[in-house]
Structure 1
Amino acid sequence: MLAAPLAPARTEVTRTAYWPRLLPLLTALACATRIPSFVRPVWNPDEGYLAVQARLLLQGGRLYDTVVDRKPPLLPWLYQAAFALCGSGSLTPLRVLAVLAQLLTAVALASLARRRWGDRAGRTAGVLYLLVSVGLNPEDAQAATFEVFMLPGTAAAVWCADRGRWGAAGTAVAAAFLTKQTGGAVLLPVAWLLYRRGAPRADVARLAAGCVLPVAVAALLTGPAGFLFWTVTGSAAYASPTGSGLHVLARVSANTALLAGASAGLLPPVVRALRTARSPAPELWLWLASSAAAVTLGFHFFGHYYLQLTPPLALLATAALQVPPRDRHRAAVRVSACCCALFVAWGLLAPRPELRHAERLAALLAHRTGPADRVLVWGIHPETYWLAGRTPATRYLTAGLLTNYSGGRDGLRVGERYAVAGTWPVFRRELAAHAPALVLDDSRGGPYAPDRVPTLRRLLAAGYTPAGRVDGAVLYTRMPAAQRARLSPAPYAGPPPARPARSPGAAAPGRR
């Protein structure tokens, strides 16, 4: 008679203790996998770009006007808030927030898996995700950049849709999109879940409102024309599939191999599930497929793009591991843990020559200029500005926006004619209004070198003189005023435009 009431009590205690036991495990694992992120001041140019943007915003800059990038506004705002609270001399606060972002993603996946397949599946999903989340080149996996902060929104969108919370699901989709445009791909599995439930009009309206309203607010806060141009319409050349096929093939092969190696414990159960026709829920495959399409978009295949694949991959593996024999789940975790340890060690021990290069250039700039001086670093490493503590002479923080170098891949479609529309007139005006005290040509023979960029070549010839080389970069100092007057060239109209000269983007950068 006494045994009956005790069984429910034990069950309640077990369910109550589930999260207090799992959360410390996931927290410790999230911290351990991201230890390498704290050992370097900056991991890649994206972090450097965001750090410089945040400093400019703190100084009164306006996003999509005097501070520009092709990305949505949430992460620049987050960097700005962190710098306002903790100072702009270190990215450590952002690295802590990145750990929290990974933890939130793991918790959402654990909750999804637990709801569908039980307590053990929840633990498996959270652990597998964190183990595979660092399975790329450390400069892609350990940096506090767009994909890491996008993933909590994508996981939350599916979590809310799984529970029929359509307004919240739409808001999560919007948050992912406003962190990086490809985060909006999660709308596909969310829409499928809504369709499977019959798609009542009220729920469709809630989902649509959740998606649209946050984006509309962000557009109003930053200026609708500038927001639309810099986040959607102004990246046609960057997103073009035209480029060096061999270069792209090498990049996609290397990054796919890295993630496949990190996922060695996850892929076998997923493949077995496919072979036995016992595949998991279709929305998980839609999530993986939409994420793969987002990785492919633009045909660049940078390593950090692949992070978007890891949440649905972890859930698919967890679902497949529910099929007997159940002992395979331990093997999957063990293999994933071993692979994770290798990638963490790589992050701790591998040299970073590009970081050393940027630090040397930053030391030179800090030594040769004063804190109030503006400088121009012509290259693809905006972190040099941040490391030197100097203000850029232009809103275009890399040569990529002015030549499409990053989008041009291996040199094809690189040059002034492929620049973001309207940038070169603004660039010339800014250099005339705030002439840089020093110009550092960090192209090092790349396809965007000054000898291949007529406007920049003319600007340097009219006002600057070479003053030596530092680590392969060429330093230019400003000529005396009398010499500049003698050499001042006639106005240069720039290259023939490859697109209409007037556009929302051409107008927005010129406003003050």
Structure 2
Amino acid sequence: MLGAPLAPARTAITRTAYWTRLLPLLAALACVTRIPSFVPTLWNPDEGYLAVEARLLAQGGQLYDTVVDRKPPLLPWLYEAAFALCGSGSLLPLRILAVLAQLLTAVLLASVARRHWGERAGRTAGVLYLLVSVGLNPEDAQAATFEVFILPWTAAALWCADRGRWGAAGAAVAAAFLTKQTGGAVLLPVLWPLCRRGAVRAGLPRLAAGFAAPVLGAALLTDPAGFLFWTVTGSAAYASVTGSGLHVLGRALANAAILAAASAGLLPPIARALRDGRARAGEPWPWLWLWLGSSAVAVAAGCHFFGHYYLQLVPPLALLATAALHVLPDKRRLAAVLASGCACALFVAWGLLAPRPELAHAERLAAALAHRTAPGDRVLVWGIHPETYWLAGRTPATRYLTAGLLTNYSGGRDGSRVGEAYAVPGAWPVFRRELTAHAPALIADDSRGEPYAPARLPTLRRLLTTRYTEIARVDGAILYARAAASPGAGP
């Protein structure tokens, strides 16, 4: 009897020792794999968009009203909070948070793997995930944007569901959805253990309440109608499958091939498990396949197939490979880690050495805007690089930070469905009113021959020809200043 209480203490000591050894390894690996993220000022327009949003929110803007985006509010709020604490001149705080997000994801996956297959499997899952997590074009894998911050929430949802913590699982699903809509796809694998354990009657209400409370809270903190419109109902043209099939297929295959190359150590053991039949039956194989399948649906949603979408596939792939490797000899596990490590080194080198011509262009254009305008002036950058506003330190003349929202350029993929007719519903009347109320001191036409050029847009073309005059060209972009005869006139 005297020895009985010692068992929990020994278990706690063992658990503490395990994580004491593993956490420093995963933390170091998370930092090393994301070294490239700290090199450029920005990685892609999504970071620029979020940075401009955060500044506008800090100046009193209202999300889904005077500040708009097709994304849920969690990440704009995170950027705003980081800027409030550390200043808005650098994305360094967000880079650090992205490292922590990747570390947390790895820890949660390691915990799930350890619970099912033992301590060695936990180490394998965490390491494999971090090695493969940078296996895409660096502008997709290294940026501090939506998918990177989805991943810890999706892993947390699975971790909670695996332990029957249904309310917490629902809250994690909600947080993933509030980071980006496709994060909600993790709900399907969360429901699997709920049904398998016969806990639907007791667990489903807790799961639903855990999900509903954060989503309703976010809607009420913003504007419920605007929240619904911008995150769900207002993007029909953007999500339409109509477009260039070959263009979409090429992008999908290219990004899939890049991720497959990064997963060179993961795919062979998964394929072997499928061939041997181990991946078709038994717990938790169906659960992991459902997670991978739901993530694939999230990648395909809207038929855009941007590289960063593929990050949602990495956590289930890491766990599937771990499940396959834990019954194989140690040399197979070592081979998988080495192959993943070599691929990771190549992708890290790519991130460090790849040129950033679009960033250089945005910096030159931002310098020209800053030189020709005063800090209090409003400007309009007609293009798909909202980071120009942030780099120049100038306030946008409109809530629509890219030409995409007014022309559906990104949603049109190759330009087949681009124009005023494909804009976000109701956007052009608002755009005209804003340019009347806040006539930009300078307009930069940064279309550079793309399908959203002003020549193809009657409203913008009329504004430029009647109210503005060309004053300079910068790196292919055309700068227009207000004509002296009609200062402040609207379009």
TM-score of Structure 1 vs Structure 2, range by shorter chain = over 0.9
Indicate if the aligned counterparts of 2:160 and 2:169 stay in contact, CA closer than 8 A.
yes
Within 2, Cα distance between the matches of 1:23 and 1:137?
27
Aligned to 1:503: none
Aligned to 1:167: 167
Using the TM superposition, give the Cα deviation of residue 36 of structure 1 relative to its aligned residue in structure 2, in angstroms.
0.4
Within 1, Cα distance between the matches of 2:487 and 2:233?
42
Within 2, Cα distance between the matches of 1:10 and 1:425?
68
Aligned to 2:195: 195
Structure 1 counterpart of 2:481, from 472, 477, 481 = 477
Aligned to 1:377: 381
Q: Percent identity?
A: 81
Aligned to 1:351: 355
| DSSP-derived class of the 1:164 partner | coil
Output the TM-score relative to the length of structure 1: 0.92
Using the TM superposition, give the Cα deviation of residue 13 of structure 1 relative to its aligned residue in structure 2, in angstroms.
4.7
| DSSP-derived class of the 1:448 partner | coil
Within 2, Cα distance between the matches of 1:78 and 1:241?
31
Using the TM superposition, give the Cα deviation of residue 244 of structure 1 relative to its aligned residue in structure 2, in angstroms.
1.0
Aligned to 1:510: none
Aligned to 1:421: 425
Using the TM superposition, give the Cα deviation of residue 199 of structure 1 relative to its aligned residue in structure 2, in angstroms.
2.7
Q: Is 2:288 the partner of 1:311?
A: no
When residues 6 and 330 of structure 1 are mapped into structure 2, their CA distance, relative to the original with a 3 A threshold, is farther
Using the TM superposition, give the Cα deviation of residue 15 of structure 1 relative to its aligned residue in structure 2, in angstroms.
3.5
Within 2, Cα distance between the matches of 1:8 and 1:203?
28
| DSSP-derived class of the 1:481 partner | coil
Q: Structure 2 regions of 5+ residues with no counterpart?
A: none
Aligned to 1:237: 237
Aligned to 1:106: 106
Pairing of 1:233-382 with structure 2 (within 5 A): 233-279=233-279, 281-382=285-386
Within 2, Cα distance between the matches of 1:477 and 1:178?
40
| DSSP-derived class of the 1:468 partner | strand
Using the TM superposition, give the Cα deviation of residue 12 of structure 1 relative to its aligned residue in structure 2, in angstroms.
6.5
Within 1, Cα distance between the matches of 2:434 and 2:41?
29
Aligned to 1:51: 51
When the two chains are superposed, the root-mean-square deviation of aligned CA atoms in Å is: 1.8
Indicate if the aligned counterparts of 1:65 and 1:226 stay in contact, CA closer than 8 A.
yes
Within 2, Cα distance between the matches of 1:70 and 1:312?
26
Cα displacement string for residues 226-251 of structure 1 (whole angstroms, at most 9, x for unaligned residues): 00000000010000011111211221
The one-letter code matched in structure 1 to 2:301 is L
Aligned to 1:458: 462
Cα displacement string for residues 434-467 of structure 1 (whole angstroms, at most 9, x for unaligned residues): 0001000000010000000111001111210111
When residues 333 and 483 of structure 1 are mapped into structure 2, their CA distance, relative to the original with a 3 A threshold, is closer
Indicate if the aligned counterparts of 1:462 and 1:484 stay in contact, CA closer than 8 A.
no
When residues 477 and 156 of structure 1 are mapped into structure 2, their CA distance, relative to the original with a 3 A threshold, is same
- Report the count of equivalent residues: 484
The one-letter code matched in structure 1 to 2:420 is E
Q: Is 2:472 the partner of 1:468?
A: yes
Output the TM-score relative to the length of structure 2: 0.96
Aligned to 2:210: 210
Within 1, Cα distance between the matches of 2:382 and 2:328?
58
Using the TM superposition, give the Cα deviation of residue 201 of structure 1 relative to its aligned residue in structure 2, in angstroms.
1.4
Cα displacement string for residues 339-397 of structure 1 (whole angstroms, at most 9, x for unaligned residues): 00000000001101000000000000010001000000000000000000000000000
Within 1, Cα distance between the matches of 2:430 and 2:52?
19
Using the TM superposition, give the Cα deviation of residue 477 of structure 1 relative to its aligned residue in structure 2, in angstroms.
1.0
Within 2, Cα distance between the matches of 1:133 and 1:324?
24
Using the TM superposition, give the Cα deviation of residue 16 of structure 1 relative to its aligned residue in structure 2, in angstroms.
2.9
Indicate if the aligned counterparts of 2:436 and 2:488 stay in contact, CA closer than 8 A.
no
Indicate if the aligned counterparts of 2:36 and 2:142 stay in contact, CA closer than 8 A.
yes
Cα displacement string for residues 312-344 of structure 1 (whole angstroms, at most 9, x for unaligned residues): 000000000022334200000000000000000
Within 2, Cα distance between the matches of 1:77 and 1:464?
36
When residues 394 and 324 of structure 1 are mapped into structure 2, their CA distance, relative to the original with a 3 A threshold, is same
Within 1, Cα distance between the matches of 2:10 and 2:170?
38
Within 2, Cα distance between the matches of 1:216 and 1:8?
41
| DSSP-derived class of the 2:234 partner | helix
Within 2, Cα distance between the matches of 1:196 and 1:282?
11
Indicate if the aligned counterparts of 1:149 and 1:179 stay in contact, CA closer than 8 A.
yes
The one-letter code matched in structure 1 to 2:82 is A
When residues 6 and 214 of structure 1 are mapped into structure 2, their CA distance, relative to the original with a 3 A threshold, is closer
Within 1, Cα distance between the matches of 2:242 and 2:291?
27
Aligned to 1:78: 78
| DSSP-derived class of the 1:316 partner | helix
Pairing of 1:87-236 with structure 2 (within 5 A): 87-236=87-236
Within 2, Cα distance between the matches of 1:7 and 1:210?
34
The one-letter code matched in structure 1 to 2:350 is W
Q: Is 2:401 the partner of 1:397?
A: yes
Relative to structure 2, which stretch is displaced further, 426-435 or 244-253?
A: 244-253
Using the TM superposition, give the Cα deviation of residue 223 of structure 1 relative to its aligned residue in structure 2, in angstroms.
1.2
Within 2, Cα distance between the matches of 1:430 and 1:7?
69
Cα displacement string for residues 123-171 of structure 1 (whole angstroms, at most 9, x for unaligned residues): 0000000000000000000000000001100000000000000000000
Within 2, Cα distance between the matches of 1:161 and 1:482?
63
Within 2, Cα distance between the matches of 1:117 and 1:434?
61
Within 1, Cα distance between the matches of 2:32 and 2:113?
23
Within 1, Cα distance between the matches of 2:487 and 2:184?
54
Cα displacement string for residues 279-307 of structure 1 (whole angstroms, at most 9, x for unaligned residues): 15211000000000000000000000000
| DSSP-derived class of the 1:327 partner | helix
Indicate if the aligned counterparts of 2:438 and 2:488 stay in contact, CA closer than 8 A.
no
Within 2, Cα distance between the matches of 1:304 and 1:96?
18
